[in-house]
Amino acid sequence: MNDRQWDVLIKGGSVVLPDGVEVLDIGITDGRITGLSSNLPEAAANLVISAAGKHIFAGIVDAHVHFNEPGLGDWEGFATGTAALAAGGCTSFIDMPLNGLPPTVNLSALKLKLDAAAGENGACVDYAIWGGLVPGNIGELAALSEAGVVGYKAFMSYPGDTGEGCFMNVDDETLMEGMKAIASLDGILALHAEDEAMVSALAAAKQAEGKVSLRDYLDARPPAAEWEAVKRALHMAERTGCKLHFVHISTPEAIDLIGEAKQSGLDVTAETCPHYLAFTDEDVIRIGAAAKCSPPIRSEREREALWKQLAAGEIDIIASDHSPCPPAMKEVTGGNYFDVWGGILGAQSLLEVIVSEGGLKRGIPLHVLSRAMSAAPAERFGFGHKKGKITFGFDADLVVVDLTSPYVLTEQQLKYRHPHSAFVGYAFDCQVDMTLLRGNILFNRSAEAGGERTGGGGQRLWPHVAGT
- Average pLDDT of 176-185? 98
> How far is the C-alpha of 138 from the C-alpha of 135, rounded, in Å?
8
- Average pLDDT of 33-49? 94
> How far is the C-alpha of 243 from the C-alpha of 424, rounded, in Å?
37
pLDDT in tens, 100-113: 899 999 999 999 99
pLDDT of 456 > 60? The answer is no
Helix axes 172-184, 223-240, angle to 10 degrees: 50
Does residue 311 sit in the same domain as residue 264?
yes
- Average pLDDT of 299-303? 98
Does residue 179 sit in the same domain as residue 324?
yes
Its sign, for the CA torsion 374, 249, 356, 19, is negative
pLDDT of 441 > 80? The answer is yes
Note the pLDDT of residue 447: 54
Lowest average pLDDT, out of 47-51, 68-72, 407-411, goes to: 68-72
Number of separate domains in the chain: 2
Query: Quick one: what percent of the chain has pLDDT higher than 70?
Result: 95
Closest to 358 measured CA to CA, from 303, 404, 406: 303
Check: CB of residue 344 under 8 Å from CB of residue 323.
Answer: yes
Beta bridge partners of 94: 128
Note the pLDDT of residue 163: 64
Does residue 184 sit in the same domain as residue 51?
no
In this structure, is residue 454 part of a structural domain?
A: no
Note the pLDDT of residue 450: 42
Does residue 349 sit in the same domain as residue 272?
yes
Does residue 358 sit in the same domain as residue 406?
no
Does residue 190 sit in the same domain as residue 137?
yes
pLDDT of 316 > 90? The answer is yes
pLDDT of 54 > 60? The answer is yes
Sheet architecture: strand order including 131-132: 131-132, 152-155, 188-192, 243-246, 268-272, 317-318
Note the pLDDT of residue 4: 73
> How far is the C-alpha of 236 from the C-alpha of 200, rounded, in Å?
22
Does residue 38 sit in the same domain as residue 185?
no
pLDDT of 311 > 70? The answer is yes
Which residues 6+ apart lie within 8 Å of 144 measured at CB?
A: 104, 106, 107, 110, 131, 152
Q: At 16, which CATH number? A: 2.30.40.10
Confidence of residue 446 (pLDDT cuts 50, 70, 90): confident
Confidence of residue 120 (pLDDT cuts 50, 70, 90): confident
Integer angstrom CA distances of residue 445 from 128, 292, 448? 27, 30, 9
What rounded mean pLDDT belongs to the chain? Answer: 94
Note the pLDDT of residue 3: 62
Please tell me which residue, 363 or 164, carries the higher pLDDT value.
Answer: 363
pLDDT of 466 > 50? The answer is no
Does residue 96 sit in the same domain as residue 243?
yes
Note the pLDDT of residue 121: 86
Which residues 6+ apart lie within 8 Å of 68 measured at CB?
A: 74, 75, 76, 77, 99, 100, 324
Dihedral in degrees, nearest 10, Cα atoms 113, 114, 115, 118: 130
- Average pLDDT of 173-180? 97
- Average pLDDT of 214-234? 97
Please tell me which residue, 444 or 465, carries the higher pLDDT value.
Answer: 444
In this structure, is residue 311 part of a structural domain?
A: yes
DSSP type of residue 138: G
> How far is the C-alpha of 188 from the C-alpha of 190, rounded, in Å?
6
> Where in 51-155 does DSSP place strands (E)?
55-58, 60-65, 90-95, 126-129, 131-132, 152-155
Does residue 318 sit in the same domain as residue 436?
no
Note the pLDDT of residue 457: 82
Greatest Cα pair distance in the chain? 77
Q: Label residue 82 left, alpha or beta by phi (over 0 means left) and psi (-120 to 50 means alpha).
A: alpha
Does residue 327 sit in the same domain as residue 439?
no
Parent domain of 305: 59-380
- Average pLDDT of 57-66? 98
> How far is the C-alpha of 27 from the C-alpha of 11, rounded, in Å?
9
Does residue 90 sit in the same domain as residue 206?
yes
Does residue 81 sit in the same domain as residue 215?
yes
Closest to 261 measured CA to CA, from 241, 282, 289, 291: 241
- The three-state DSSP-derived secondary structure of 382-426 is CCCCCCCCCCCCCECCEEEEECCCCEECCHHHCCCCCCCCCCCCC
Q: At 263, which CATH number? A: 3.20.20.140
In this structure, is residue 388 part of a structural domain?
A: no
> How far is the C-alpha of 349 from the C-alpha of 61, rounded, in Å?
13
pLDDT of 449 > 50? The answer is no
